[in-house]
Structure 1
Amino acid sequence: MTIATKTKYQLETFWVPGGQDENPAYALSLTNNTDQPLEGFTLCVSGPARIDPEATVEGGRLLTRLSNHAEFAPPEGFVLKPGETWTVKALGMSYHPKHWTDGANAGYVVLADNNTVPVSVAPTRAKGDNAALTRGSVVYPVPKVAPVSVSVVPWPSAVSVSGRLAPPVGLDLQSEGAEADAAVQSFKSLTGGLFPVEGIVRPAAEGGFPVLLTLADGLAAEAYSVRFSTSRVTVSASASTGFLYGLITLAQILRGARLHPETFLFPASGEITDEPALGWRGVHLDVARQFYGTAEIEQFLRIMAWNKLNRFHWHLSDDEAWRVEIDAYPALTEIGAWRGHGLKIPPLLGSGPQVTGGYYSKAAIRQIVALAGNLGIEVVPEIDVPGHCYAMLQAIPELRDPAESGSYFSVQGFPDNCINPAREETYRVLETIFDELIELFPSKIIHIGADEVPLGAWSGSPEALARLRDVSGEAMATAHAARLNVITNTHGADEIDGSGAAVLQAEFLARIQNFLASRGCVTGGWQEAAHGNVIDKSKSLLFGWRTVEASAALAGEGYDMVVCPGQVYYLDMANSQAWSEPGASWAGWSDPEKLYAFDPVEGWSEAQKKHLLGVQCCIWSEPMTDRGVFDRLVFPRLSALAETGWSLPERKSFARFEALVGLMPILYGVYAEK
């Protein structure tokens, strides 16, 4: 028999939004469950909640604040007796928490001898909200009567089927030619990974229904047709990806008919013809804030393929971590891939005092890229520069001007997080890193970030100010130097157009793009890469994350655009405004229906639409410590985005989507309690 015991120390956090009689306040209460007094200690917590560096703190002192990592000390001489609680209250947050995952989700006590003790942390509660906290994907039950007779997500271009066969137990695939053979092997691997015991692919000896794959000239690479008869199914395509997508559609129909025969049928006749509306149907995954192992990435790629998504934007570096092996600079992963108490990168975003993190070896990356290629997915790596480089600078401090003084701060509360564009060492290091990356990623699209450079970046660097003086004159350099030690970006990302930071960033971007172009690569960047209008539009693409209107304006300037506005397509945003929902809401919120109905090119002119590459959802991982939160935030919104990218607007129907999406797989299998 197991006897339950209390943890030594327990932390509860509480958010008071403020009102007529009280100011907004964030309270942290530590309870001593031991039989010994606690003294000479400090309390460390990590967010996403960020204490404002100028906050007033009651009941203790704020010793350290690095982004969402905060260390508090009680008053001098304070003793936390057994069974008692100490409360420290911060009157000032960098942003006001809106959801239960905004608060502290990890903590530990540092004892007087510098040893650490983990603390049990309860989800943050908000004053006036007692609703049950939610996690796990919302369950979308398959109805008895659906708007359509076959189950396919995303919905095809044309569906004309009739009759009903008894659903076969599996599919006996008969391929002709290299393209079809490759698709069969990929499909076997895909279904075996997603549905290992269903036996979707099986020989005739085990009851597999004949499926013939035939080459059809004239179809686009991702297009296909599926023709049904009583004796066999014929899948036609011109390329392996088209064959794979045809087989995925057929398998979705089979699963629907087998699992819900009262709702869906397996057709006896008719045809489905299909091709995507948009060429770029992407998903961005941030692996810097939280780390996902190779097995998780591979399963996520399988789910992407099942949704006919074809671009995996892999966010491999940020302030919080560096996640890719670089032979020339082993310190990047030795230092930048790990967080923990006493390390150069402290516990952040739910990591405790123990060493946590990880990185992708080159062997793992090759394995992942190969799987993606077999599934029709291009992998686009991102190394975010020149901002969001705190982890990189901890590993390679030479990328900062050694004479730099003072500090500037990023929107996420990291000091001095930009590599210096005025240093030749910066370009030598980056060119070496990019050369190693290019060898790993055959897509030859290298995303360089370029977002959220702080307004005061490099304002204390003599090298940067000298370069700015040469380029833009004394007045600009003097104005920029005045931004040193000014706490900017406390509540949002500053617009830097026209600033010294924008001028220096533009010089940096032009040089990096020229280098990548010399290696035969296209440069990707967030929309801030357009600062200064210096990058070659014919060799670049931009990702519009702020608004549809901003993306349209950039398209009008001739930039090729992937549309991913944070208000709707950022999947770390909560499903509703309720405190009980996990996620964030600094950009907005969007439930599956809102995302599904969203028009990514509303108001665009025909000339602007010529520069539309496609759409992408972005998974930022700040709230993803709990994988049940991942499933709730990502699914089924990922499938809603997939249908926007694949199906023409006039073919969309949320009522149909809602009836079918419950059959789509999710990553961790965590569903919300009914």
Structure 2
Amino acid sequence: MRRWSVFALLFVAACSSNPPVPRAPSVLPALLPWPAQLEVGRGRYVLRDGARLEVAGGDEALAIARGFAARVARDRGLQLDVAAQAGAGDAAVVLALRPGDATVPEGEGYRLVVDRTHIELAAREPRGLFRGTTTLWQLLTPEMSPARAIEVSAVRIEDRPRFAWRGAMLDSARHFQPPEFVKRFIDELALAKLDTFHWHLTDDQGWRIEIKRHPRLTEVGAWRRPAGAAGTDAAGKPVRYGGYYTQDEIRDIVRYAAERYVTIVPEIDMPGHMQAAIAAYPELGASADEPVVSPDWGVHGYILNVDEPTIAFMQDVLDEVIELFPSTYIHVGGDEAVKDQWKASSRVQARMRELGLADENALQGWFIARMQQHLAARGRKLIGWDEILEGGVPADAAVMSWRGTKGGIEAANAGHPVVMAPSPDLYFDHLQSDAADEPSGRPDLRTLADIYAFDATAGMDAAAAAHVLGAQANLWSEHMRTTAMVEHAAFPRLAALAEALWSPREARDWSRFVARLVPQMERWRAHGVAAAQSAFEVRFTDTAQGIVLSNQAGLPMRYTLDGRAPDVHAAIDAGGALTPPAGATIRAATWLDGRRAGDITERRADAAHRRASSELAQCSGKLVLRIEDDAPTPGPRAFYDVDLFDPCWTWARAPLDDAARIRVAVGQLPYNFQLYKDVANIVPRPAPSTPAGELLVRDGCAGMLLASLPLDRARMNPAVSVLEAELPPRSGAHDLCFVFSGEGHDPLWAIDTVELLPPR
């Protein structure tokens, strides 16, 4: 009988946005997500190259073992000899399926035991065995360097998830991602013990799934001409942008996900968000228009009509979707279906009267019910965004709550299965820090700590909470043009969500999570995943006392003032304000367990006289986005913080004592935003003095004009242009205000950087 020393674990759910400093390292392994039960034993086991991995449980268990061994070989260079034969007694690792063993956790649960003699992993189901191998993989990868032998501390784990639906939604409609990326993304979901991949495949900007009965959906609907400079190539010809997944590619991705016990839930968004489909088949629309596939972001007005041929068309689509995806749930969207075209259509209004429906919301409810009946007849269940509640929804339909948590709570109280995916809480298009080098997205921050603090059943009683399947993060890709941007937005925040959904609520501990995340960041680097360093990067804040260093993770920081990279001998930040000598550049990084945890960041000596777009305040802040420039086509692009309603910026207390000139880097963007009725909120720009307009710099937004920088040359440059002008003498600190003059709101001018310069 093995002997174990039980390590008493006291967890504190320290999940605020201002988390405490992580504690000193303990003997606990760096596992993510944290297991339901863990006991640290005595001693250790050394797993050596060529060791025997014995499998019991049939072909599926053998496939899991081979996949695990292949990953260990790739990540550590250590080879395991996988054998299906059981009972030889000399196995270093045993993986066993034990469906009738009531002592082993059921479902996705597993039991993992490491002692001085060997490693043993048992589960009742294959998915539990796979989840257990991801835990064992983490025990074998505290670092990612090659090894001929790996020490594993003795441990006993009995684990199971808190929620069944632990997911991430990837929007492939706004920007198409290659199949190879989708598979890699699924791989990282599985390693994080996330089990659901919600795939947003259709929208106004693109139709990404091949439908053989209706080929124009991809022949036409999968391609668009981007707005602005990106829509024309170097030869002056229109750019065709997009792509789609063939059915063979989808089958391959579904197979790949199934091997990792990840369920793909496809989404065909209807009856709104259908402009790409209507561009391909105009007869589907509720108006007589023949639109193009949209290059714009926002809420569009095109909606399907409700004629029987259109119902049959969409049911054809669902039939082919069902053939490709074996998931229980099929997502039909149902969100942001603007009803103006239904209200204006005599044909739709006649159909409403024929059906005896009170209003357009009821008509959408009827439409969704038709799709639900079609799916139910084929053994599937419908899930949709929370708007489906407004028109009445079938009792067994699942509701995905996105407009905050209110819809999810109402649906759970009504007995519907619920998936929580609220905005802004789990919308990963929100930036995770206000650093200048964060890519495009929504500047209303959702930090790593915010995600870790999420509770899927907050505000519910026990009866309602029982209807919550789980939760997911949503990666809307309007502002994620590249796969690197997707990864930056997703990781490490998905690791925080994974722990919030897998681990017992009382086991969550922010400080320990941060410490366990550091080796996971190394794993992502080794896998080529562009995980964000935002939580680990040092930020610099100017105060009256000096420069204050901080970081989201709450880790210790080391810094230098002489230009050297900080190392273990560099000064440790004591928490006060620094007053570096004139001309000094501060270089700093976070540290944990004697090694650097984040990238080195620096504050240049001229920082007081320079502001990036993200460091300027918005005058009104009505609808602010961080937007990527649409040029140049190849290479890096600038990011601008800009208010779509009121493009106006201020630099509070700008030091003008020595400033004789001002240099501003600006860019122009296409105003490709469908604002619907909110277009009335756009603030008119000042009248221009020249045809191209000017950048106006004032001493306070209602104060004296200090400089007027013509945009004529910048208007000819689709990328960043640098403008410069003289400033009248001023002393002290002044609030500078920046606004562009011009006719209309297209193009949308934005500021990249502002610099105050001394006399020539």
TM-score, L = length of structure 2: 0.60
Separation in 2, partners of 1:212, 1:631 = 34
Separation in 2, partners of 1:435, 1:629 = 33
Corresponding position of 1:426: 310
- CA deviations on 1:118-176 (whole Å, 9 max, x unpaired) are xxxxxxxxxxxxxxxxxxxxxxxx99952452121111011112334375355642101
Q: Are positions 1:669 and 2:535 aligned together?
A: no
Q: Are positions 1:177 and 2:57 aligned together?
A: yes
Corresponding position of 1:50: none
> Structure 1 pair 579/505, CA: closer, same or farther in 2 (3 Å)?
farther
Corresponding position of 1:556: 413
Deviation at 1:459, TM superposition (A): 2.3
Conservation of the 8 A alpha-carbon contact between 2:401 and 2:407: yes
Corresponding position of 1:393: 278
Task: Supply the AA of the counterpart residue of 2:371.
Answer: I
> Structure 1 pair 223/642, CA: closer, same or farther in 2 (3 Å)?
same
Separation in 1, partners of 2:128, 2:118 = 19
Conservation of the 8 A alpha-carbon contact between 2:167 and 2:472: yes
In the TM superposition, 1:38-49 aligns within 5 A as: none
Conservation of the 8 A alpha-carbon contact between 1:314 and 1:380: yes
Q: Are positions 1:629 and 2:485 aligned together?
A: yes
Corresponding position of 1:55: none
Separation in 2, partners of 1:399, 1:531 = 23
> Structure 1 pair 329/200, CA: closer, same or farther in 2 (3 Å)?
farther
Q: Are positions 1:467 and 2:344 aligned together?
A: no
Separation in 1, partners of 2:300, 2:108 = 46
SS of structure 1 residue aligned to 2:266: strand
Number of equivalent positions? 491
Corresponding position of 1:644: 500
SS of structure 2 residue aligned to 1:554: helix
Corresponding position of 2:388: 529
Separation in 1, partners of 2:361, 2:231 = 30
Conservation of the 8 A alpha-carbon contact between 2:65 and 2:82: no
Separation in 2, partners of 1:331, 1:299 = 29
Separation in 2, partners of 1:646, 1:515 = 33
Task: Supply the AA of the counterpart residue of 2:367.
Answer: F
> Structure 1 pair 210/347, CA: closer, same or farther in 2 (3 Å)?
farther
SS of structure 2 residue aligned to 1:373: helix
* Aligned partner of 1:596 among 429, 435, 452: 452
> Structure 1 pair 368/164, CA: closer, same or farther in 2 (3 Å)?
same
> Structure 1 pair 573/202, CA: closer, same or farther in 2 (3 Å)?
same
Conservation of the 8 A alpha-carbon contact between 2:268 and 2:333: yes
- CA deviations on 1:11-58 (whole Å, 9 max, x unpaired) are xxxxxxxxxxxxxxxxxxxxxxxxxxxxxxxxxxxxxxxxxxxxxxxx
Separation in 1, partners of 2:243, 2:255 = 21
> Structure 1 pair 410/416, CA: closer, same or farther in 2 (3 Å)?
farther
Corresponding position of 2:625: none
Separation in 1, partners of 2:320, 2:405 = 35
Deviation at 1:416, TM superposition (A): 3.9
Separation in 2, partners of 1:610, 1:582 = 38
* Aligned partner of 1:234 among 120, 143, 168: 120
Conservation of the 8 A alpha-carbon contact between 1:153 and 1:639: yes
Conservation of the 8 A alpha-carbon contact between 1:406 and 1:460: no
Separation in 1, partners of 2:91, 2:245 = 41
Corresponding position of 1:383: 268
Deviation at 1:626, TM superposition (A): 3.6
Corresponding position of 2:549: none
> Structure 1 pair 230/273, CA: closer, same or farther in 2 (3 Å)?
same
TM-score, L = length of structure 1: 0.67
> Structure 1 pair 201/503, CA: closer, same or farther in 2 (3 Å)?
farther
Corresponding position of 1:507: 366
Larger Rg: 2
Conservation of the 8 A alpha-carbon contact between 1:311 and 1:379: yes
Q: Which runs of 5+ in 1 are unaligned?
A: 1-141, 477-499
Q: Are positions 1:359 and 2:359 aligned together?
A: no
Q: Are positions 1:568 and 2:452 aligned together?
A: no
Task: Supply the AA of the counterpart residue of 2:129.
Answer: F
Corresponding position of 2:628: none
> Structure 1 pair 198/471, CA: closer, same or farther in 2 (3 Å)?
same
Separation in 2, partners of 1:570, 1:341 = 24
> Structure 1 pair 339/366, CA: closer, same or farther in 2 (3 Å)?
same
Separation in 1, partners of 2:296, 2:144 = 51
Conservation of the 8 A alpha-carbon contact between 1:324 and 1:333: yes
Q: Are positions 1:223 and 2:109 aligned together?
A: yes
Deviation at 1:627, TM superposition (A): 3.6
Conservation of the 8 A alpha-carbon contact between 1:283 and 1:616: yes
SS of structure 1 residue aligned to 2:471: strand
Separation in 1, partners of 2:417, 2:493 = 25
Deviation at 1:228, TM superposition (A): 1.2
SS of structure 1 residue aligned to 2:39: strand
Corresponding position of 2:337: 453
> Structure 1 pair 321/439, CA: closer, same or farther in 2 (3 Å)?
same
Conservation of the 8 A alpha-carbon contact between 1:159 and 1:272: yes
Task: Supply the AA of the counterpart residue of 2:352.
Answer: L
Conservation of the 8 A alpha-carbon contact between 1:563 and 1:615: yes
Task: Supply the AA of the counterpart residue of 1:518.
Answer: A
Separation in 2, partners of 1:342, 1:606 = 49
Separation in 1, partners of 2:232, 2:212 = 26
Conservation of the 8 A alpha-carbon contact between 2:43 and 2:116: no
Conservation of the 8 A alpha-carbon contact between 1:173 and 1:201: no
Separation in 2, partners of 1:420, 1:175 = 56
Deviation at 1:579, TM superposition (A): 6.1
* Aligned partner of 2:319 among 425, 435, 450: 435
* Aligned partner of 1:252 among 130, 138, 143: 138
Conservation of the 8 A alpha-carbon contact between 2:404 and 2:422: yes
Conservation of the 8 A alpha-carbon contact between 2:286 and 2:305: yes
CA RMSD of aligned residues (A): 3.3
Conservation of the 8 A alpha-carbon contact between 2:303 and 2:339: no
Conservation of the 8 A alpha-carbon contact between 2:36 and 2:159: yes
> Structure 1 pair 417/404, CA: closer, same or farther in 2 (3 Å)?
closer
SS of structure 1 residue aligned to 2:424: helix
Deviation at 1:270, TM superposition (A): 3.6
Deviation at 1:314, TM superposition (A): 0.7
Q: Which runs of 5+ in 2 are unaligned?
A: 1-20, 84-89, 534-598, 601-760
Conservation of the 8 A alpha-carbon contact between 2:375 and 2:381: yes
Corresponding position of 2:694: none
Deviation at 1:652, TM superposition (A): 0.8
